[in-house]
């Protein structure tokens, strides 16, 4: 099983290294360009680094395509579902750490510059300390990890049940918000995930992560590579 986990992690690495490098290169060039443009008259730029919105968007779309491409490939090579899902959990932890670390490297790197009109700020900066109700680095990592696991589940759900049921799943939350009692309850629960709110606790993210881990486990155990090949044909 250990060898299969290592093999799966290798395939994850081979699949993800290029898009991750390209993502951060584009983001770096974007920040560099805006910093240069800030030298121009009447041009100002402010970007908040906690957490990087573009990084979070990446963690939403990337796991959907990752599951679709990695899962059938490794299963057809003889990797067990148990090995795949364990490797996925390890990969999610490592990737979230890397994304969070690079976020803060960029944050500190661009804060070394003193370009007038260019501001790249984050909650770890001195002016934001009074608003922090928890460890900002832990919060950033948990947010990236939660998004990756959640959208891995959504990607697996689409893969297992198809487009129609997948769209229904994605529509459940926004539609439930239309019911006032449910909407207010969801907003109340979201306060525990918001680092700006006094009710914020890191354990709230751990609960969501555990739920995603369990759901992913059940989805992967029943996902059929043969069924998907049949549907495609």
pLDDT, position 22:
94
Cα–Cα distance measured from residue 8 to residue 16, given in angstroms and rounded to the nearest whole number: 12
Domain range for 56: 2-228
Number of domains within the chain: 1
Residue 27 lies in a domain: yes
Q: In order along the chain (233 residues), what is the average pLDDT of each group of 10 residues?
A: 89 92 90 78 61 82 89 87 92 94 84 72 53 69 92 89 82 71 71 72 86 90 62 45
**119: helix, strand or coil:** strand
Q: Is residue 233 part of a domain?
A: no
Does residue 185 lie in a domain region? yes
141/44 Cα distance (integer angstroms): 29
Please report the pLDDT score of residue 147 as a whole number: 92
Token pair belonging to 196: 């700006």
Asked whether residue 80 is domain-assigned, the answer is: yes
């Amino acid at each position: 099983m250990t060898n299969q986990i290592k093999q799966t992690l290798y395939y994850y690495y081979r699949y993800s290294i290029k898009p991750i490098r390209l993502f951060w290169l584009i983001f770096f060039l974007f920040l560099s360009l805006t910093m240069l443009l800030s030298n121009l008259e009447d041009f100002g730029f402010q970007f908040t680094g906690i957490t990087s919105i573009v990084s979070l968007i990446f963690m939403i779309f990337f796991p959907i395509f990752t599951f679709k491409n990695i899962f059938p490939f490794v299963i057809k090579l003889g990797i067990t579902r148990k090995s795949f899902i364990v490797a996925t959990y390890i990969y999610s932890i490592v990737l979230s750490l890397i994304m969070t670390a690079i976020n803060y490297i960029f944050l500190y790197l661009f804060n070394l510059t003193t370009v007038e009109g260019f501001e790249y700020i984050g909650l770890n900066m001195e002016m934001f300390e009074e608003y922090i109700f928890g460890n900002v680095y832990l919060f950033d990592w948990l947010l990236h990890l939660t998004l990756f696991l959640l959208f891995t589940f959504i990607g697996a759900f689409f893969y297992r049940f198809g487009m129609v049921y997948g769209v229904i799943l994605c529509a459940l939350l926004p539609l439930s918000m239309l019911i006032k009692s449910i909407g207010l309850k969801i907003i109340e629960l979201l306060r525990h995930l918001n680092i700006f709110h006094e009710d914020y606790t890191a354990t709230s993210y751990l609960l969501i992560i555990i739920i995603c881990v369990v759901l992913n486990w059940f989805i992967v155990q029943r996902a059929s590579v043969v069924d998907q090949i049949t549907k495609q044909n």
